[in-house]
C-alpha cells in the first residue's frame, strides 16, 4: 500500500482551507478535460526545454536516486530532485550545486514579468525550499525559470527562458510555512476530516455543494454578483451564509440587491425599460459574431510569441430584420499556418453589410484591436468593424436577473434558461478550452486525416452554436422588453 504524504498542492490548499485539502488528498480528481491535458503537455514540453539550460544535468525522479546523485560531486545539476520527511514530499524542478550547498530552481510556463513574479510562484518555491531543508539539503538560494516573451521559433531553447533569483523574497515565506510544519501534515493525514467551516475559499471549492458546508444550501451568498471578501466576512461573522437570511438593512449594491430579490422570490427580476433603452441602438442587418482562438506556451507558428493569442476562427449569423431571415458565414484557419491576415480579409468582407454586430463580452473587441495592431494595413476597416460592436452581456446582466443564473451572466449559464432547446451537451467540443486544445492538436501535426476532418467539423459546429445562442438570447431579451398587454 502506498503511504499517503502531503504534497505542495495539498499544503498550499490547506493554507486556505484544511477541509478542502483533506478531501483533495483522497480524491482522484476526475477525468482531465482536453484543456487540462493541453496544459499538462505544455508543462512537460517547457520543462524539457528548460533542462537545456544545464545540458549536463542528471535526472533523478526518485528519493533514492536523488540521495545517490547528491553524493556524486561530479554532478552539478539534478533534475526532478525528490525529498520526503515527516509526511511531506517535494520535488524540485532542478537543484544546482554551488559553494556550500544548492540552489533550487522552479520552472514555470508563465511569461517573465519585469514587475516581478506571481505570489503563487514564490509560494511554490517556498514550499520546496522548506521540505528540502527539513530533509537535510543545505539550500543557499532559489530561482524562478520563466518564459521569455521575445523568443520565436528557430531560436535556441535556452533563449526561451529568463532565470531570476528570488532568495530574499522566498526565505521569509518558507520560514512562515515552516512554523506550520507540525500542524498541517498531522491534520491532513489523519482519518477524520478537519471540522469544516465557511471561508472565502468555499466560493470555488469542488467539495462545497455536495459534501461540505454547502450541502442543502440552494442560495449561498456566493451567488451575489461582485461579492468581495470583505462583505463575505461581514456576513459570515454574523452567521449569515444564505441569501435568504441576509438582513434587510444590510448594505448591498443595487445589482446585489436585485439578485438577492430574484433568488429569495424564485422569480426573475426584469427591467424592461432598461433592456429596451439598450436595444434601441440596434440597427439591422445585425451580425452575431464569435471568435475562437489559439494560445500555447511554446508558439506553433513563426513570428508568434509565447502565450500570444491568435484568432483562428469565427462564426457569423446575419439577421436581416427583427425575426427575419437568418444566414450563416464562417471561417476556420488552415491549422498548418498562421492565417490571421486571411481571416481578417474574410471577416471584413462577411461583416460589410451589417449595421450592428452583436457579441457577448468584450473579448471580440480586444481581439479586433490586437489584429489591427498586428495588421496596420487593415486598421481602418477593423476600426469600422469595432465601432459596430454591441455587447449583449451587460444588457442581460442589468436587465434580467434570473434565480437560475446563480448571480452569473455567461452565455453558458443564460442559454439553458432563455433557450432550453439549444444545448452544448451533445457537442464533441463544448467549451472554449476544449476548442483551444482541439486546434492546438491539429496544429501540432500529430493527427490523422480522419481526425483532422472530425476535429474541424466539431470546431465549426461549436462556434456556430455560440452565435446562434446570441440570436436566441437577443430575441428573448427583445420579448422581455415589450411584454404583451394584459388581456
| pLDDT tens for each residue of 143-188 | 999 999 999 999 999 999 999 999 999 999 999 999 999 999 999 9
Q: Which CATH number fits the domain that encloses residue 74?
A: 3.90.320.10
pLDDT reported for residue 124: 98
**3-state SS assignment for residue 376:** helix
pLDDT reported for residue 1: 47
Closest Cα partner for 165 from 216, 209, 129? Answer: 129
pLDDT reported for residue 484: 57
Q: Is residue 93 a contact partner of residue 145, using CB atoms and an 8 Å limit?
A: yes
**3-state SS assignment for residue 71:** coil
**139 and 92 assigned to the same domain:** yes
Instruction: Tell me if 356 is assigned to some domain.
Output: yes
**251 and 317 assigned to the same domain:** no
Give me the percent of the chain exceeding a pLDDT of 90: 96
DSSP H/E element including 11: helix 8-16
Closest Cα partner for 95 from 130, 140, 135? Answer: 140
**Structure-block grid coordinates of residue 75:** 554532478
**137 and 249 assigned to the same domain:** no
Confidence tier at 483 by pLDDT (50, 70, 90): low
pLDDT reported for residue 2: 60
pLDDT reported for residue 485: 54
pTM over cut 0.85:
yes
**36 and 104 assigned to the same domain:** yes
Instruction: Tell me if 6 is assigned to some domain.
Output: no
Which of 264, 283, 316 is a domain's end point? 264
Instruction: Tell me if 195 is assigned to some domain.
Output: no
Q: How many domains does the chain have?
A: 3
**282 and 233 assigned to the same domain:** no
Long-range contacts of 29-37 (CB under 8 A, 24+ apart): 33/433, 33/434, 33/437, 34/433, 34/434, 34/437, 34/438, 35/431, 35/433, 35/434, 35/436, 35/437, 37/437
Residue with cell 538560494: 141
Report the pLDDT averaged over residues 16-33: 91
**449 and 340 assigned to the same domain:** yes
For 372-385, how does the pLDDT look when each residue is reduced to its tens digit (9 = 90+)? 999 999 999 999 99
**93 and 219 assigned to the same domain:** no
Confidence tier at 27 by pLDDT (50, 70, 90): confident
Instruction: Tell me if 325 is assigned to some domain.
Output: yes
Report the pLDDT averaged over residues 426-435: 96
pLDDT at 358 over 80: yes
**408 and 296 assigned to the same domain:** yes
From residue 348, give the alpha-carbon distance in Å to each of 171, 342, 382. Answer: 54, 10, 7
**163 and 107 assigned to the same domain:** yes
E runs forming strands in 152-231: 161-165
Report the pLDDT averaged over residues 336-346: 98
**Structure-block grid coordinates of residue 154:** 528557430
Which of 216, 245, 264 is a domain's end point? 264
Confidence tier at 486 by pLDDT (50, 70, 90): low
Which of 124, 148, 179 is a domain's end point? 179
Instruction: Tell me if 365 is assigned to some domain.
Output: yes
Please tell me the distance from the alpha carbon of residue 458 to that of residue 453, in angstroms, as a whole number: 9
Instruction: Tell me if 20 is assigned to some domain.
Output: no
**223 and 168 assigned to the same domain:** no
Instruction: Tell me if 354 is assigned to some domain.
Output: yes
Average pLDDT, the chain: 96
The whole domain housing 204 covers 200-264
Q: Which CATH number fits the domain that encloses residue 415?
A: 3.30.420.10
Report the pLDDT averaged over residues 318-323: 92
Lowest-pLDDT range of 1-10, 251-260, 311-320: 1-10
Report the pLDDT averaged over residues 316-326: 93
pLDDT reported for residue 77: 98
Lowest-pLDDT range of 29-43, 141-155, 279-293: 29-43
**399 and 423 assigned to the same domain:** yes
Residue 135 DSSP symbol:
T
Instruction: Tell me if 80 is assigned to some domain.
Output: yes
E runs forming strands in 242-353: 269-270, 286-294, 310-319, 326-332
Please tell me the distance from the alpha carbon of residue 187 to that of residue 190, in angstroms, as a whole number: 6
**231 and 351 assigned to the same domain:** no
Amino acid at each position: 500500500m502506498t503511504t499517503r504524504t502531503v504534497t505542495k498542492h495539498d499544503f498550499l490548499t490547506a493554507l486556505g482551507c484544511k477541509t478542502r485539502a483533506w478531501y483533495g488528498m483522497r480524491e482522484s480528481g476526475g477525468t482531465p478535460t482536453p484543456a487540462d491535458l493541453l496544459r499538462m503537455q505544455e508543462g512537460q514540453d517547457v520543462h524539457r526545454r528548460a533542462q537545456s539550460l544545464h545540458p549536463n544535468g542528471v535526472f533523478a525522479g526518485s528519493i533514492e536516486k536523488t540521495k545517490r546523485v547528491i553524493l556524486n560531486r561530479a554532478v552539478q545539476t539534478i533534475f526532478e530532485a525528490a525529498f520526503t520527511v515527516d509526511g511531506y514530499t517535494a520535488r524540485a524542478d532542478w537543484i544546482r550545486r554551488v559553494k556550500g550547498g544548492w540552489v533550487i530552481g522552479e520552472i514555470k510556463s508563465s511569461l517573465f514579468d519585469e514587475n516581478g513574479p506571481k505570489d503563487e510562484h514564490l509560494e511554490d518555491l517556498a514550499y520546496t525550499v522548506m521540505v528540502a531543508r527539513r530533509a537535510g539539503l543545505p539550500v543557499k538560494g532559489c530561482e524562478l525559470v520563466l518564459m521569455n516573451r521575445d523568443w520565436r521559433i528557430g531560436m535556441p531553447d535556452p533563449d526561451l527562458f529568463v532565470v531570476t533569483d528570488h532568495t530574499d523574497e522566498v526565505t521569509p515565506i518558507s520560514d512562515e510555512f515552516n512554523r506550520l510544519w507540525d500542524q498541517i501534515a498531522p491534520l491532513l493525514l489523519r482519518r477524520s476530516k478537519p471540522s469544516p467551516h465557511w471561508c472565502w475559499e468555499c466560493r470555488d471549492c469542488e467539495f462545497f455543494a455536495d459534501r461540505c458546508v454547502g450541502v442543502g444550501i440552494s442560495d449561498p451568498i456566493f451567488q451575489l454578483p461582485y461579492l468581495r471578501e470583505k462583505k463575505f466576512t461581514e456576513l459570515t461573522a454574523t452567521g449569515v451564509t444564505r441569501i435568504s437570511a441576509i438582513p434587510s438593512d444590510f448594505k448591498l449594491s443595487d445589482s446585489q440587491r436585485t439578485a438577492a430579490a430574484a433568488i429569495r422570490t424564485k422569480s426573475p427580476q426584469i427591467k424592461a425599460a432598461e433592456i429596451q433603452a439598450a436595444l434601441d441602438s440596434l440597427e439591422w442587418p445585425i451580425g452575431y459574431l464569435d471568435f475562437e482562438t489559439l494560445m500555447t506556451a511554446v508558439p506553433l507558428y513563426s513570428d508568434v510569441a509565447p502565450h500570444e493569442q491568435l484568432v483562428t476562427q469565427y462564426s457569423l449569423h446575419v439577421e436581416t430584420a427583427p425575426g427575419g431571415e437568418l444566414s450563416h458565414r464562417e471561417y476556420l484557419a488552415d491549422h498548418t499556418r498562421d492565417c490571421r491576415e486571411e481571416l481578417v480579409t474574410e471577416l471584413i468582407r462577411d461583416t460589410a453589410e451589417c449595421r450592428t454586430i452583436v457579441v457577448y463580452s468584450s473579448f471580440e473587441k480586444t481581439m479586433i484591436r490586437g489584429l489591427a495592431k498586428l495588421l496596420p494595413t487593415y486598421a481602418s476597416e477593423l476600426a469600422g468593424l469595432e465601432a459596430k460592436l454591441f455587447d449583449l452581456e451587460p444588457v442581460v446582466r442589468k436587465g434580467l436577473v434570473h434565480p437560475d443564473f446563480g448571480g452569473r451572466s455567461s452565455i453558458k449559464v443564460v442559454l439553458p434558461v432563455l433557450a432550453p432547446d439549444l444545448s452544448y451537451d451533445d457537442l464533441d467540443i463544448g467549451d472554449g478550452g476544449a476548442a483551444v486544445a482541439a486546434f492546438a492538436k491539429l496544429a501540432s501535426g500529430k493527427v490523422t486525416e480522419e481526425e483532422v476532418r472530425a476535429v474541424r467539423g466539431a470546431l465549426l459546429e461549436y462556434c456556430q452554436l455560440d452565435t446562434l445562442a446570441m440570436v436566441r438570447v437577443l430575441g428573448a431579451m427583445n420579448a422581455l422588453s415589450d411584454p404583451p398587454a394584459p388581456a
